[in-house]
Amino acid sequence: MFDDILSSEERDTTKTNVLNADRERFERSRTVADQQSLASTPLAASPSPSTPGPSSYIPAKFDPNVLRIRTIRFGPYDIQTWYDAPFPEEFSNIPDGRLWICEFCLKYMKSRFACQRHRLKCKCRHPPGDEIYRDGSVSIFEVDGRKNKIYCQNLCLLSKMFLDHKSLFYDVEPFLFYVITEVDEIGARFVGYFSKEKRNSKDLNLSCIMTLPVRQRQGWGNLLIDFSYLLSKKEGKCGTPERPLSALGAIGYQKYWTLAIMRFLQTAPEDPRLEG
């Protein structure tokens, strides 16, 4: 249609075709850029080890040689994973075994390049849902699995990498998720969460609980457990966690109830009885 305006040389578009050599050159350039950017960015010092703790607490199935995703980059931290999670097949062959996760919307990505582009576009600065608790820099959000399905599914995939018994991934609609965050000048940074069924006949107040490894041994787990009982108190129910407990879950509840009993005994009358 432009024969009378453009010459044959000007109409030639063969030089604009994308060839395999062009794709390979682009991938090489992106890999080099990712490596240089990673080398120039120091990792933040982790406040606690990224393993469950003493060697007796390390899960028996932990084997870094068989994990498809061996490390996640979450905010400023590189965190070693403990278990495999059922991410889509396209995430099974990541070259360096590192998954990049946005700490606000929990979207997962394959490379630093994709993560940096996501940060420019992502407007999330706190979990979706309602903020139902605030004390200083600590906030807890109630997230409905039906209203915020993608976020809750990403949350379940994240927790599976640190929980052996985790089985819920995509059917999140019957659950509420209570996400605890620490707020700074950038936003509400994810710390941990617990989930509970919206309707159950056994007064279960907690189905699953997880705190990021870099946030463990700082009292966050105790706060989440205490919050689950406070919710039961508001509902006029006794409340109990779903059983059987995981190994780390049992340790967390033992510590919580030991502390609760010691606090009671500080102000209890003399010779208290269990019946009282």
pLDDT (tens digit, 9 = 90+) per residue, 76-125?
A: 999 999 988 888 888 877 878 889 999 999 999 998 899 999 999 999 99
Q: Which residues contact 201 (CB under 8 A, 6 or more apart)?
A: none
Q: Tell me what the pLDDT averaged over the chain comes to.
A: 84
Q: Which 8-state DSSP code applies to residue 232?
A: H
pLDDT digits (tens, 9 = 90+) for 232-275: 999 998 889 988 888 888 899 999 999 999 998 888 888 888 77
Structure tokens at 250: 């049992």
Structure tokens at 241: 């966690």
Burial class from Cβ neighbours inside 10 Å (0-12, 13-18, 19+) for residue 38 reads: middle
Q: State the pLDDT confidence band at 2, using cuts at 50, 70 and 90.
A: low
Checking 242-248 for CB contacts under 8 A at 24+ apart, the result is 242/204, 242/206, 242/207, 242/208, 246/163, 246/164, 246/165, 247/57, 247/59, 247/164, 248/52, 248/57, 248/163
What phi and psi values does residue 87 have, to the nearest 5 degrees? -70, 160
In this structure, the strands spanning 77-80 and 108-109 are unpaired
Catalytic residues: 242
Q: Which residues contact 215 (CB under 8 A, 6 or more apart)?
A: 47, 48, 191, 192
Instruction: Please say if the pLDDT value at position 152 is more than 80.
Output: yes
pLDDT digits (tens, 9 = 90+) for 215-224: 989 999 999 9
Query: Which pLDDT score, from 0 to 100, does residue 170 have?
Result: 81
Distance CA 21, CA 205 (A): 57
Higher pLDDT among residues 131 and 69, named by residue: 131
Query: Which pLDDT score, from 0 to 100, does residue 10 have?
Result: 79
Structure tokens at 84: 């495999």
Helix (H, G, I), strand (E, B) or coil at 9: coil
Burial class from Cβ neighbours inside 10 Å (0-12, 13-18, 19+) for residue 116 reads: middle
Closest CA to 141 of 175, 102, 184, 177: 177
Q: State the pLDDT confidence band at 34, using cuts at 50, 70 and 90.
A: confident
Ramachandran assignment for 67, one of left (phi > 0), alpha (psi -120 to 50 degrees), beta (any other): beta
pTM comes to 0.74
Query: Which pLDDT score, from 0 to 100, does residue 229 have?
Result: 94
Lowest-confidence segment of 58-67, 88-97, 205-214 by average pLDDT: 58-67
* Structural domains of the chain ordered from first start: 124-266 (3.40.630.30)
